[in-house]
Amino acid sequence: MICPHCNIAIHDNFESIHEVYNKPWQGLYISKIEYFLHQMICPSCDMPILKMQIVKAMLDSNRDVFFAPVQEYLIYPKYNKAVCPKEVPDEYKKDFLEAQAIREISPKSSAALCRRILQQLLRKEARVSPSNLNNEIDEFLKRNGLPSHITDDLHSLRKIGNFAAHPKEDIAGHILDVDQDEVEWCLNIISSLFDYFLIAPAAAANRRKSLESKLQKDIKAVS
């Protein structure tokens, strides 16, 4: 998981500290809803993380109890810390920060924002022909010289529900059924594309500028 305080990848090591509420057994198949409060300390920043977990407890044919997760969400901090490289323009940054902030409380909405950013990047940075996102990805992937991790990620992205197969008029973001791990992966893909389209070219331009400046100084020193 990603620590919501320091944004560093850490191992999920929650422990249950309190059963908040317990409904009685009910229904034909005998089930009940239970609410648990979990806590852990981030090993990176030493900050506490609290989450609420909602599970359905059921009895099988042998009267043994098994649990089915229903939902879990952060209590503290309420939102993940959102970060974005300084090289990323505001037109992408706003949606990216929001997608990070809501990834725990609304994975579907976070995925929709990732989809929107992806289409904006392909249209504005890759200059693909405007179409539906699926066709735009196809056009981009036909280009030579793309890093393998970019092509592999975009190919795999199609496997997340129907993430890329919506018409262009749905650019505002279709609500998709995705889980937390898939959202984290989508955010990582967007970060990789930021690096490919924006950060790496900016770093290369700065290196060229620095080298040219040094060369001009050397020429003046010799003359």
What residue has token string 């929650």? 14
What was the pLDDT predicted at 203? 85
Rounded (10°) angle between helices 133-141 and 148-157: 150
What was the pLDDT predicted at 170? 42
118-144 pLDDT tens trace: 999 999 999 999 888 888 998 999 998
90-209 folds as: Four Helix Bundle (Hemerythrin (Met), subunit A) (1.20.120)
180-220 pLDDT tens trace: 778 888 888 999 999 999 999 888 888 888 888 878 777 77
Question: Which residue intervals of the chain bear CATH 1.20.120?
Answer: 90-209
Rounded (10°) angle between helices 133-141 and 107-124: 50
